[in-house]
Structure 1
Amino acid sequence: MKVLIYFDDYDTVKESGVGKAIDHQIKALKLADVDFSLDKNDEYDICHINTVFPKSVLFADKAKKDGKKIVYHAHSTKEDFKNSFKFSNQIAPIFKNWLVYAYRKGDIILTPTDYSRKILEGYKLDREIKVVSNGIDLDFWKKKDGDRENFYKKYGLDKNKKSIISVGLFIYRKGILDFVELAKRLPQYEFVWFGELNLNLVPENIKRAVKTDLKNLHFPGYVKQDDLRQAYSGSDLYIFPTHEETEGIVLLEALAMKTDILIRDIEIYENLIDGKEIYKAKTIDEFEEKSIKILEDQLPSLKEEGYKKAEEKSLKKIGIRLKEIYKNLLERE
């Protein structure tokens, strides 16, 4: 059994969650001793596709014509496409139709969470849909000595202030407006948002937010993975104010790093219990109140309980799960 991880669109998505998902699949398959290739010209039995660009869909057609099995990994939905780029809400219905067309190319569809599976089931894809987390590399996402000092020095943060970070594109869906508002309300803390997006692609309110001139608000842009690891390790609180996700790999990273975490209370994270494994907030006022309580030690740290959730999604376990799915797919008549 040999698997092709379709790689032609990787450079386009490498800085996104889909790019990280592909990276994770590669490592997971290595850990599970699955024979795989990134070269579409190699011989293979199963093609695993993560992207929905026209080139990806055309390749699925070619692979199917050549008698190969197709695993289509559904990372995107209409719901998480909305509230992203300019005109994304208007385009969303068309995008959904395209997703349906693309995902139906698969002999089986994979998606990261029960929540995203429920959404996809509403699309009437007429395909088996299995849940496989994108997983987390527990070997990489670990604290190291000197992380806090390096983090504060690299971004010129005030050593006398505690720090709050978040990670994501400059889009409304990721909660960037609330993050900037929190920075305005809480000048006693440093705020750092990692990630970026061409501002020509976003609405004016997002542009204004990113250009907000505050001494305690920082936008370093896209950074290397080890710099991000340092940030999780060296900061005092990770806030994830996202409005919609299919999983949220950055949340898995924060859990793995044993970071104190505050997320928006949305349906996808109903399996994470507020006050047990993680803290949650629904409104900007709740985010403000809980941020202060966490940072001022008025709420207990949940780092160890949160780490247990990351352990459940280790890449070793994901590799075993993928291997099982591939084998079962090949055994079908």
Structure 2
Amino acid sequence: MKRKRVPFFLKLKFATPKKDDLKSIMLKNLAKGNINVNIDNGLEIKLFFREVAQRYSDSLNPLNFATLLKIPGVLGNLMTLYLFAAPYLGALIVESKRRREALSLYHSFFNKNAPNSQKIAYFTDTYFEVNGVSRTNQDLRKFAQEKNLDLEVIISRKLFSLEEKLKNIAPIFEMPLPVYPEIKLGFPDPLELVDYCCQNNITHIHAATPGSMGLFGMFAAKTLRLPFTIAHHTDLVQYAGIYSEETLQGALRKYLSWLYGQANKVLVPSEFTKREVIENFNTVPDDILVFHRGVDLRQFNPGFRDEDCFGKYKGFSGRPVVLYVGRVAKEKGLDIFCEVAKLVKERYSNLTFVVVGDGPYREELERKWGHIVIFTGMKSGNDLSAAYASSDIFLFPSPTETFGMVVLEAQASGIPAIVSKEGAAKENIKEGETGFSCVQEIRAFYKCLVSLLKDKEKLCNIKKASREAVLSRPLEGGLREMIEKITC
């Protein structure tokens, strides 16, 4: 007998509130007449489900690696409850279809020369935080604003924002991500998301992240019969293997396989990442699109060089300066960076090693290596540009990169990069011309760095070549390509 396919959510153990709680909510709302579902009483429906969802969220406090496994079950239960709102959702589907047809007719008859009638809802779990995905999201919103493109970035946070083209839908509940507490998972009301997309004539939905906002973005797209794309920016499965046990890693792989399977297209930033997604998530190769990122050549350039940039820090030993920029976390290979610093400084005492960034591993690293390596903390804007341009070599041993944006920023600033052969960062260099890649071993990075330090003429030539190599990769071109692939 053929086994029946069961949705991934339904395979996991449900985490439910007390029956008495649900019963009291149902009775209270029935008394008010709120369960009589139609498109005219949407507010009452949303209030009802918001109260139910709040009760479910209590089972997830505090959020840790163990309770992360409960999230799909909680969401599965909530989605089941939304069956009560089927007539309301059905009315929204009809209205959304009629709106799209009306707009299509309008453009056909009265506005034939309009560039396009597409409008993108861009869902993301991270926007204000300091990381590569957030920076891409901020750049894309700014680009859409400058070019007057129909793109709205959708977030769900308890804070309030008045930025143009940034829509914040308040969450029913919000929880910090384990290990990355500055990133908070917001859980908005799916009905409100669907209603917003319908009322604002959204034609395409894209998820920049696979967290709660990516999941609810998929729900809105499927409900309104809209094209849905998702990006794979971060190797979450590998991170889970570093910070937790195999149970979470396996569950996360199943979840991402399921979520990517719901998408029309999966966008990835490198050929390496495309191969990883095909292998790990059983994604059809033709459904994966590589978009090529660019770099802000005005913000990152050699003109920001300041010979005294690091002189104010205790531990500055002179030049050359070897730099790392990025999140200070275990998965970034910073143990190798510090071990290499120790070995090289035994040979070149006037060398300075600098780590720019912050994260959960900083305190431990600084306590152990603070006498050898300068830890500046977070830098942004012109301070970050000066840190890049005022260095001489970029040492980036992270083996978990899906792209490695900091490598492009370093090259644009005129400094060569030494990167790991593992991960996608190596795709951003021309071996021996604009940088070098090493196997993930301390001695390999040590030998490569010493070789470059010994040959000043070679170092000078590679610096020039690094800058020239990224001149053909402006930020605007990369953002435009991403939008084209979301709507293709």
AA at the equivalent of 1:190 = T
Tell me which amino acid in the other structure corresponds to 2:255: W
Q: How far did 1:92 drift? A: 2.0
- One-letter amino acid of the structure 2 residue matched with residue 303 of structure 1: K
Are 2:21 and 1:21 aligned?
no
Tell me how far 1:323 sits from its aligned partner: 4.0
Which aligned pairs between 1:1-333 and structure 2 lie closer than 5 A?
1-7=118-124, 9-11=126-128, 14-29=129-144, 34-38=149-153, 39=167, 41=196, 42-77=200-235, 80-81=238-239, 84=242, 86-87=243-244, 91-122=248-279, 123-126=281-284, 128-145=287-304, 147-149=306-308, 151-156=309-314, 158=316, 160-187=318-345, 188=349, 189-199=351-361, 208-266=364-422, 268=424, 269=426, 272-282=429-439, 283-298=441-456, 300-301=458-459, 302-328=462-488
TM-score by length of 2: 0.59
Q: Any idea what SS the aligned residue of 2:432 has?
A: coil
Say which SS state the counterpart of residue 120 (structure 2) adopts. Answer: strand
Q: State the 1:152 CA deviation.
A: 1.4
SS in 1 for 2:307: helix
Partner of 2:42: none
* Cα gap change, 1:140 to 1:83, in 2 (>3 Å): farther
The alpha-carbon distance between structure 1 residues 93 and 50, as it changes in their structure 2 partners (threshold 3 A), is same
Aligned to 1:331: none
Query: SS of 2:458's equivalent?
Result: coil
* Aligned-CA RMSD value: 2.7
Return the alpha-carbon distance in structure 2 between the equivalents of residues 79 and 258 of structure 1.
33
CA distance in 1, matches of 2:394, 2:213: 37
Determine the C-alpha separation between the residues in 2 that align with 1:308 and 1:33: 31
Paired letter, 2:477: K
Q: Deviations over 1:131-188 (max 9, x none)?
A: 0133322221123355332x21453453634211112323333111011112222332
Given that 1:134 and 1:318 are in contact with CA atoms closer than 8 Å, whether structure 2 keeps it comes out as yes
Contact 1:165 1:237 in 2 (8 A): yes
Compared CA separation, residues 217 and 34, structure 1 to 2 (3 A): same
Q: Using the alignment, how far apart are the partners of 2:125 and 2:329 within structure 1? A: 26
State the alpha-carbon separation in 1 of the partners of residues 364 and 315 from structure 2: 22
- Conservation of the 8 A alpha-carbon contact between 1:24 and 1:134: no
TM-score normalised by L of structure 1 = 0.84
**Partner residue of 2:100?**
none
Q: CA deviation at 1:209?
A: 3.4
1:148 partner letter: E
Does the C-alpha gap of structure 1 residues 170 and 152 become closer, same or farther in structure 2, counting only changes over 3 Å?
closer
Cα distance in 1 for residues equivalent to 2:124 and 2:423: 32
Higher helix share: 2
1:90/1:191 Cα in 2 relative to 1: closer, same or farther (>3 Å)? farther
Q: For 1:201-227, what per-residue CA distance to the aligned partner results, in whole angstroms no more than 9, with x for missing partners?
A: xxxxx8643421443312222222322
- The 3-state SS of whatever aligns with 1:223 is coil
For 2:181, the equivalent position in structure 1 comes to: none
Q: What count of residue pairs does the alignment treat as equivalent?
A: 318
- Decide whether the 8 Å contact of 1:32 with 1:319 is kept in 2: no
Which residue in 1 is equivalent to 2:184?
Answer: none
Aligned equivalents of 1:54 and 1:190: distance in 2? 42
Spell out, residue by residue over 1:215-256, the C-alpha distance to the aligned partner (whole angstroms, 9 max, x if none).
Answer: 331222222232221111001211011112110111111111
Contact 1:117 1:131 in 2 (8 A): yes
Amino acid at match of 2:389: S
Alignment gaps of 5+ in structure 1? 200-205, 329-333
2:317 and 2:352 in contact (8 A); partners too = no
Residue 341 of structure 2 aligns with an amino acid whose one-letter code is A
Aligned to 1:203: none
Structure 2 unaligned regions, length at least 5: 1-117, 154-166, 168-192
SS of 1:164's equivalent in the other structure is strand
Report the Cα distance in structure 1 between the residues aligned to 2:275 and 2:146, rounded to whole angstroms: 29
Structure 1 residues 170, 102: CA separation in 2 closer, same or farther (over 3 Å shift)? Answer: same
CA distance in 1, matches of 2:305, 2:297: 19
SS in structure 2 at match of 1:155: coil
CA 1:172 to 1:89, structure 2 compared with 1: closer, same or farther past 3 Å? farther
Aligned 8 A contact 2:294 2:478 in 1: yes
Q: Which amino acid aligns with 1:293?
A: S
Q: Is the contact between residue 127 and residue 138 of structure 2 (CA under 8 Å) also seen in structure 1?
A: no
Identity of aligned pairs, percent?
A: 20
Residue identity matched to 1:252? L
Alpha-carbon separation, structure 2, partners of 1:146 and 1:274: 25
Asked if the contact 1:158–1:190 (Cα under 8 Å) also holds between the matched residues in 2, the reply is: yes
Question: How far did residue 78 of structure 1 move?
Answer: 5.0
Equivalent-residue separation in structure 1 for 2:381 and 2:254 (angstroms): 34
CA pair 27-293 structure 1, distance change in 2 beyond 3 A: farther
**Contact kept in structure 1, 2:304 and 2:385, CA below 8 Å:** no
Larger radius of gyration: 2
